[in-house]
Structure formats: C-alpha cells, structure tokens
C-alpha cells in the first residue's frame, strides 16, 4: 500500500533540511572567522556576527527541542567511522537514552537495535558513508517500552575540501504508525484471503465440490498440513447433519459415519454446536473437548473450530487441526470468523442447487424408468430394463430385482447389476433373509449393516448395506427391489424415497405385464372356444339340414293325401310336424348365418339393387300372414329412389327379419309401415348418400331395460307379450351384421306398448 507523506512529515523534512543548512553554515563560519579578523571595524562586525550566530544557534536548539523527533548531527570519517557531534535532548524520550549516552558509547547504542534489524543500521551507515541519503525503519529495544519502531533518516552534506562527511539526521518513533500499517496490512491480507475464499468456493455445482474447495482453501490460508484432521460438517434446517467432508482420506469408510456421529455427539464439533462459539484448543491432549479416536495418529496437537451461522441458525462447523501445540492464534480465529459469511453463502448456494438438482434428477430417473418399462409385457424384460436404467441413473452400486417363480413361493433374482450381478438366478423363500422379511411384512427394510441383522443370509461377504422395497400392487406381491452396497450405511433418506417411488413404478409395469399376459391367454382361449363352437354349429346345422328336408318332404307328402286319406287328427299332427320342422329350419339357417358371420365366411354378392323391389318381394311373402292378423301394411317411398350397393338376397333377409318381427310383435289389427327415403348421412365427417329404410309398427314396444341388449346373440325380451311369439333371439344380431357388411347402419327407437321403429341405411350405388 502506498503512503503519501503526511503534512507533518513534509514540515519535518523541510525543517530538517533548513536546520541542516543553517547548522552547516554556522559550523563553516565558525571555522573561517579567526582567519578573517584584521582590524577594529572588523572586530565589531565579528562581534555582531557572533551574536547573530549565537542567536541562530539558540534558535536552532529551540527548534530542535520543540519538535517531537530527535535531531542529530554526525560525522563519518574517511575510515567510515561515525561520530555524533550533536543530538537533540528529545532523543531520551524516544530511545530511553540521553544524548550523552550516544555520544560517549563506543557503538552509539547500536546494541539496543533489535538483533534481527542490526543489518539495517549497518546498511544505513554504509549508504551515508558513500554519500547517499537514506532512510530506514528498525526495531529498537526501549528500556521501559520494550520493542519499538524507529525511523532514521539521514542527509549527507559533504565538506568542500575535507573528505569528512557530515550527516544531518532525524530519529522518530514510528511504532504507532507501524502498528497501524501492520493492521492495515493484515486487514488487506484478510480481505485478499476472503476474496480467494469467495472465488474458490462459489460456482461449484455439487455440495461435495463446494465443501472440498472451502476446506482446501481454508487449509491453505491457515497453512495447516494436508494430512491434518480437518473437517466441515453441514447441518440441515432441523439441525441434523446433512453433509460432511473430512480432509483426511485415512478413515476407513465403514468407520467414517460412526466416527462423525461420535465427534458430533461428544467431541469438539459437538461443543461448538452446543455453544455456538469458536473453540481454540491450544493443546488437544489437555482439553476435554477433544475426543481422541482409536485410529487417530497424534497429528492433531492443536485445533480451531468455528461455527458457520446462517442468520440465527447453525449451518456448519469448520474445524482445523495442526500437528504442533499452540499453532492456532487469534488471527487465525479472526480469519475463519471473517470468512464464515462467505462460507455460509457458498454452502447455502450448494444446498439450493443440491435440492434442485436432486429433485430434478429423481424425477428424471423415475420418468425415464417408467417410460422405458411401460411398453414391455414380459416381467423378466421389465425387470432387466428397470435394473439397468436405475443403476445407470443413480450412484447405487448394485440393483437387483426379484420376481416370483410360478409357484409364487420362491423369488428369483431376475435382474442384477453392479457388484450384485453375480447374484442373478439366486432364489429366496419368504421365510428367509431381509428380502423375505420385506415381502412377508410388505414393508421397506433398510439395514445399514447386514452383519448385525439376524435375518441376513450371507450371499456375498462384500455386502454391508441392504435396502429392500417390496413391489406390491393391490396387495399382490409382484417382486422386490433390492439395493446393495459394500459400504456401511450407504443409503440416506433420499435414496429410500427414490427407491420407493421406483418400486411403485416397477410394480405398476409388472402388474400391467401380468394383466396383459392374462388378457392375452384369456383372449386366445375365448377365440379358440369360439372357433370350436362355430365349427360345431356349422357341422351340426349341415347335418340337420338333410334329415329336416326329408321330414318336411314326407310330412307334405302325407298331408297332400297321395298316400291315403288321413283322419282330421292325423292331419293336425302332420301340420304340427310341418310347423316345427319349419321353425327348426329357421333356427338351423340362423345358426349357420351366425357361425358364418363370426368366422368371417359370409359370402356377399354386391350389385346395384333397387330396394323397392326387395321390399315388394318380402311384402308379397308376408302379406297373407299379416292379413290373417288383420294388420294394415303401408309402404311409402321417395320418388326416383336410387339403387343401393348391396347383396340382393341379404337385403331380402334383412327386410324379412324386420318385417316378420313387426308382424310378430304387433297385435291383431295393428299397423305396420315401411318407409324408404333417399338421404344424406354423415359418415366419418363426409356426407354419404344412402337409402334409409324404416319399419314402423305400433306393437308391444321394447322396455328401456331391454333396448340395451336388443342386438345381442340369443337375446329375447323377457316381456311375456314378446315371449308369446316363437323366436330364437338370433334375427336382430344377424340383421345388424348383414347391414354392416353392406356398409350400412342400423338402429331403432321404441316405446313400451306404443310401438317400435327399426331404421337401417344402405349406401347408394355410385353412378357408373
Ligand atoms: P326373435 O324375434 O327370434 O326373438 P330377434 O333377434 O329378431 O329374435 O329379436 C330379439 C327380441 O327383440 C325379440 O325377442 C323381441 O323381444 C324384441 N323385438 C324385436 N323386434 C321387435 C319389435 N318390432 N317390437 C317389439 N319387440 C321386438
């Protein structure tokens, strides 16, 4: 730091220089006077001059004793010897010795210069001897005050012809100034150190890096050996220790956590935590606060520990040790205390960063795992992918996933990574091991030291920590997530939380995989049963057709009277046979249709068909029946109805089914209307030209409950009125399928006991 000379200094320098020349003049004049006196006039002048000189001499003494600094005049001989010729009286308050002492002492009191600074005085004398002005500071041992600082500045005046050199000098006590200077310097050093701490500790992304840089930089600034036991313990908001860093790599990891626990509980750190103030241990062996540990070498003879506060709460404790007794000073303590704000800031930053990145990391791991496993339906595949991704995304040294075998009594390691990879295929039963206990209790099991756990089944001697989370869904045990480590107490609360979230994701994926498998096999079973049924129906109906045709043929033959007259009763019987065979034929043909539809073997013969003709054909076959029930049949149709694109015979089948239902489920004297319209129907956002056929009756209607099941196979409304007409419950199902096979739609509206309307559409045939 630069010091500008103060006003006082400038004044002193001026005075010294002025005095120096005044004294020089006086001395030279004194020597010249005897030579110059020649006559009486001169005598007067000489007397005048003498008086003037005396006056100026006394003025000089006055000035010399009035300033606080001591003034001296000295001569250096040719041989380089120094001799004081004048010392102002105030040399005594400054140095503790009077002018005579300096004048008479052969070494001019140089023995009182601090031994380490004697070379400075030597170099001053040397410089002056060479005719160079010089100014030096040195320590002086004052009789009463002890060590003080003196400043000695000397100016050289050379004689005209003699080789003697005269020195005019000033000795001042600069102890106070030195102290201020030293303070300023140490402030400056402190400031610089803090700057170094700030630079070194900010900008680290992880807590570990931040703590490491804090500890490293403080150890360097305080100058403690790298091997010393120094530490930084960080506490969370609840005062629970959250992170630690020990400078020494010597502690065996397994003992580390235990060691930390002990130090915090009973040791020096514990004392600082409790008292919230710094502790300076001059000699650790004589201080109760120091907790000697078995593996400690004697490297920590003195220690310094300071609390790092963040507001009113304790954030961390920083501890330094040194192999020498009494190494640490109040300066060190002051330095640590001054740096503590910066340390607190850096730790807080790292904590925030830690929380943010940890949460983001955890979410990312969870998300990645879920995404990777959710599309797989094989439990083993799910386990393998999950284990790999989890061990990639975390620091966990071994990830195992166990799945139940077919008996569900044993769980097998289906996937394993890291140091547990060799365990793959290993089987456990529920009554054994920590995994068995987790599955039995349906609870996470965290065991920081497996050797202390009576349930532990030794599989690998390297394993020390085990964390098991059962994979459960709706009370079903789907497996277990098992994390292992070869370090003691390797997992913390965050690890357990993440493991539990991951276990939930895995259980979900495994459950889905299981459901998918069940669904798949159920679907396969249903499909093959359906195929078998369709095949059976088609074989049986085929086999029934021929005998029924022949029964009908013979019945017709008998009723025609060709083979002889029949009594009215016989004729009645034959008619019953005929009706029943007819019903059986309908049933057989319906069943054949259903099985064909289901097996996808319906043959369609598409053509442009005039629906009016189809309706006409059907009405012709039905009219007699309807008239016998005295039902009115009305047909309304748009003019110029376009042709539809369909299978004529299937369209006849559709119309027949709907008209015969209208006939069956409408009482005598009822009314049935068939309505054909040309319409535009929305289909997948586009308008499509269709012919809409509606069959409207005022019959028994369908209850709301029954309406829902109308198109199901074999469904007949339980309504007694409906059941009084014969039927199979297949007609509407076949009809719906046939409409849809011709790209149409079918629906109905009905009101119980009021009537029913069935609508269906068939797309029109495009113009060629
Ligand atoms: P089926 O007529 O052989 O019983 P369908 O599949 O043709 O079989 O009809 C299923 C059921 O729908 C019938 O049993 C009847 O209860 C009801 N149903 C069908 N059409 C009508 C209608 N027009 N009016 C009242 N109920 C009807």
Q: Are strands 632-637 and 671-683 parallel, antiparallel or unpaired?
A: parallel
Q: Which atom in ligand 1 lies closest to the alpha carbon of residue 710?
A: 12
Q: What is the mean pLDDT of the chain?
A: 82
Q: Which of 359-368, 643-652, 744-753 has the lowest mean pLDDT?
A: 359-368
Question: SS in 3 state form for 277-313?
Answer: CCEEECCHHHCCCCCCCCCCCCCCCEEEEEEEEECCE
- Report the half-sphere exposure of 358 (CA within 13 A, side-chain side): 15
So what's the pLDDT on residue 654?
Answer: 96
Question: DSSP characters for 485-550?
Answer: ESSTT---HHHHHHHHHHHHHHHHHHHHHHHHHHHHHHHHHHHHHHHHHHHHHHHHHHHHHHHHHH
More confident residue, 708 or 342: 708
Q: Is 672 in the pocket of ligand 1 (CB under 6 A)?
A: no
Are the C-beta atoms of residues 339 and 196 closer than 8 Å to each other?
no
User: What does R_g of the chain's alpha carbons equal in angstroms?
Assistant: 58
So what's the pLDDT on residue 482?
Answer: 94
Alpha carbon distances (Å) from 167 to 28, 64, 112, 124, 266:
14, 15, 21, 11, 68
Mutate to test the pocket of ligand 1, among 654, 656, 661, 730 (most ligand atoms within 8 A of CB): 661
So what's the pLDDT on residue 463?
Answer: 84
Measure the CA–CA gap between 360 and 355, rounded to whole angstroms.
8
- Reference 470, options 496, 439, 441; nearest CA is 439
Q: Is 728 in the pocket of ligand 1 (CB under 6 A)?
A: yes
- Which alpha helices (H) appear in 464-492, and where do they start and end? none
Mutate to test the pocket of ligand 1, among 673, 716, 719 (most ligand atoms within 8 A of CB): 716
Average pLDDT over residues 627-656: 95
For residue 716, how far is its CA from the centre of ligand 1 (angstroms)?
A: 6
Average pLDDT over residues 558-562: 83
For residue 711, how far is its CA from the centre of ligand 1 (angstroms)?
A: 9
pLDDT tens column, 343-375? 888 888 777 776 777 777 777 887 888 787 877
pTM of the model: 0.40
pLDDT surpassing 70 at residue 653: yes
Angle at 559 between CA 555 and CA 563, to 5 degrees: 90
Q: Is 699 in the pocket of ligand 1 (CB under 6 A)?
A: yes
So what's the pLDDT on residue 514?
Answer: 75
Nearest CA to ligand 1 atom 3: 727
So what's the pLDDT on residue 763?
Answer: 94
Q: Which atom in ligand 1 lies closest to the alpha carbon of residue 700?
A: 25
DSSP bridge partners of 688: 681
So what's the pLDDT on residue 402?
Answer: 94
Phi, psi of 762 (to 5 degrees): -135, 130
Q: Is 727 in the pocket of ligand 1 (CB under 6 A)?
A: yes
Query: Coil, helix or strand for 679?
Result: strand
Nearest CA to ligand 1 atom 21: 661
pLDDT tens column, 567-602? 888 888 888 888 888 888 888 888 888 888 888 888
Q: Is 756 in the pocket of ligand 1 (CB under 6 A)?
A: yes
For the beta carbon of residue 60, count every other beta carbon within 10 angstroms: 18
Measure the CA–CA gap between 669 and 666, rounded to whole angstroms.
8
Long-range contacts of 548-556 (CB under 8 A, 24+ apart): 548/581, 548/584, 548/585, 548/588, 551/577, 551/581, 552/578, 552/581, 552/582, 552/585, 555/581
Q: Is 139 in the pocket of ligand 1 (CB under 6 A)?
A: no
More confident residue, 610 or 231: 610
Nearest CA to ligand 1 atom 2: 727
So what's the pLDDT on residue 674?
Answer: 97
Q: Which atom in ligand 1 lies closest to the alpha carbon of residue 697?
A: 23
Position 35 confidence tier, pLDDT thresholds 50, 70, 90: very low
Measure the CA–CA gap between 366 and 357, rounded to whole angstroms.
14
For residue 530, how far is its CA from the centre of ligand 1 (angstroms)?
A: 24
For the beta carbon of residue 684, count every other beta carbon within 10 angstroms: 5
For residue 248, how far is its CA from the centre of ligand 1 (angstroms)?
A: 90
Q: Which of 126-135, 307-316, 660-669 holds the top average pLDDT? A: 660-669
What's the gap between Cα 364 and its chain centre?
Answer: 7
Long-range contacts of 371-379 (CB under 8 A, 24+ apart): 373/505, 373/506, 373/509, 374/508, 374/509, 374/512, 376/509, 376/513, 377/512, 377/513, 377/516, 377/517, 378/513, 379/403, 379/414, 379/478, 379/479, 379/510, 379/513, 379/514
Are the C-beta atoms of residues 236 and 271 closer than 8 Å to each other?
no
pLDDT surpassing 60 at residue 698: yes
Q: Is 594 in the pocket of ligand 1 (CB under 6 A)?
A: no
So what's the pLDDT on residue 53?
Answer: 74
Cα dihedral sign, 116-118-121-125: negative
Token digits for 95? 């140095």
DSSP 8-state symbol, 764: B
pLDDT surpassing 90 at residue 744: yes
Position 634 confidence tier, pLDDT thresholds 50, 70, 90: very high
Measure the CA–CA gap between 714 and 544, rounded to whole angstroms.
20
- Which alpha helices (H) appear in 73-142, and where do they start and end? 91-95, 99-104, 118-129
Question: SS in 3 state form for 333-396?
Answer: HHHHHHHHHHHHHHHHHHHHHHHHHHHHHHHHHHHHHHHHHHCCCCHHHHHHHHHHHHHHHCCC
For residue 715, how far is its CA from the centre of ligand 1 (angstroms)?
A: 8
Q: Which of 24-28, 309-313, 675-679 has the lowest mean pLDDT?
A: 24-28
For residue 646, how far is its CA from the centre of ligand 1 (angstroms)?
A: 24
DSSP bridge partners of 369: none
């Amino acid at each position: 730091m630069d010091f500008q000379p103060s006003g006082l200094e400038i004044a002193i320098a001026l005075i010294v220089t002025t005095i120096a020349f005044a004294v020089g003049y006086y001395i030279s004049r004194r020597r010249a006077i005897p030579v110059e006196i020649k006559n009486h006039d001169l005598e007067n002048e000489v007397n005048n001059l003498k008086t003037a000189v005396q006056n100026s001499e006394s003025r000089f003494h006055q000035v010399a004793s009035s300033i606080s600094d001591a003034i001296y005049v000295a001569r250096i001989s040719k041989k380089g010897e120094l001799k004081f010729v004048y010392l102002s009286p105030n040399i005594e308050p400054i140095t503790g010795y009077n002018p005579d002492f300096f004048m008479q002492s052969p070494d001019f009191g140089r023995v009182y210069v601090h031994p380490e600074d004697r070379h400075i005085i030597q170099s001053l004398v040397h410089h002056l001897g060479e005719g160079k002005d010089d100014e030096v500071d040195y320590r002086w041992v004052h009789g009463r005050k002890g060590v003080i600082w003196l400043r000695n500045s000397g100016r050289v005046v050379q004689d005209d012809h003699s080789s003697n050199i005269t020195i005019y000098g000033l000795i001042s006590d600069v102890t106070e100034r030195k102290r201020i200077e030293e303070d300023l310097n140490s402030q400056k050093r402190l400031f610089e150190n803090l700057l170094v701490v700030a630079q070194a500790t900010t900008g680290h992304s992880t807590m570990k890096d931040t703590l490491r840089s804090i500890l490293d930089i403080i150890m360097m600034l305080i100058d403690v050996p790298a091997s010393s036991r120094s530490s930084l313990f960080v506490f969370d908001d609840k005062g629970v220790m959250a992170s630690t860093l020990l400078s020494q790599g010597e502690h065996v990891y397994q003992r580390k956590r235990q060691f930390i626990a002990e130090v915090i509980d009973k040791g020096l750190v514990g004392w600082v935590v409790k008292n919230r103030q710094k502790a300076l241990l001059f000699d650790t062996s004589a201080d109760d606060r120091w907790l000697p540990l078995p593996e400690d070498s004697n490297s920590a003879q003195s220690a310094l520990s300071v609390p790092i506060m963040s507001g009113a709460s304790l954030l961390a404790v920083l501890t330094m040790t040194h192999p020498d007794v009494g190494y640490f000073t109040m300066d060190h303590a002051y330095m640590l205390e001054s740096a503590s704000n910066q340390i607190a800031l850096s730790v807080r930053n790292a904590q925030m960063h830690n929380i943010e990145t940890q949460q983001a990391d955890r979410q990312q791991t969870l998300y990645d795992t879920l995404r990777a496993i959710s599309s797989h339906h094989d439990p083993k595949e799910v386990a393998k992918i999950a284990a790999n991704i989890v061990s990639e995304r975390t620091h966990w040294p071994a990830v195992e996933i166990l799945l139940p075998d077919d008996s569900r009594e044993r769980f097998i390691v289906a996937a394993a990574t890291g140091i547990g990879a060799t365990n793959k295929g290993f089987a456990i039963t529920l009554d054994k091991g920590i995994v068995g206990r987790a599955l039995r209790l349906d609870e996470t099991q965290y065991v920081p030291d497996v050797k202390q756990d009576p349930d532990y089944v030794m599989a690998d001697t390297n394993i020390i920590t085990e964390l098991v989370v059962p994979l459960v869904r709706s009370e079903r045990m789907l497996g277990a997530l098992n994390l292992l480590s070869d370090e003691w107490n390797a997992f913390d609360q965050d690890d357990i939380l993440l493991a539990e979230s991951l276990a939930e994701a895995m259980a979900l994926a495994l459950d889905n995989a299981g459901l998918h498998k069940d669904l798949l096999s159920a679907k396969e079973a249903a499909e093959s049963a359906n195929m078998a049924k369709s095949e059976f129906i088609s074989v049986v109906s085929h086999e029934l057709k021929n005998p029924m045709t022949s029964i009908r043929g013979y019945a017709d033959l008998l009723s025609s009277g060709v083979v002889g007259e029949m009594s009215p009763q016989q004729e009645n019987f034959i008619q019953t046979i005929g009706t029943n065979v007819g019903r059986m034929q309908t049933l057989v043909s319906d069943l054949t249709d259903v099985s064909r539809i289901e097996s996808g073997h319906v043959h369609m013969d598409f053509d442009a068909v005039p629906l009016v003709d189809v309706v006409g054909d059907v009405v012709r076959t039905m009219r007699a029946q309807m008239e016998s029930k005295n039902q009115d049949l009305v047909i309304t149709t748009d003019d110029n109805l376009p042709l539809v694109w369909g299978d004529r015979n299937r369209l006849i089948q559709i119309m027949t089914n709907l008209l015969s239902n209208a006939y069956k489920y409408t009482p005598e004297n009822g009314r049935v209307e068939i309505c054909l319209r040309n319409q535009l129907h929305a289909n997948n956002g586009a308008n499509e030209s269709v012919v809409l056929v509606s069959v409207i009756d005022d019959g028994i209607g369908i209850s709301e409950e029954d309406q829902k099941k109308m198109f199901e196979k074999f469904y007949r409304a339980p309504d007694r009125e409906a059941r009084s007409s014969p039927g199979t419950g297949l007609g509407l199902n076949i009809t719906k399928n046939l409409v849809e096979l011709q790209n149409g739609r079918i629906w109905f509206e009905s009101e119980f006991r009021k009537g029913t309307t069935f609508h269906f559409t068939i797309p029109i045939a495009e113009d060629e």
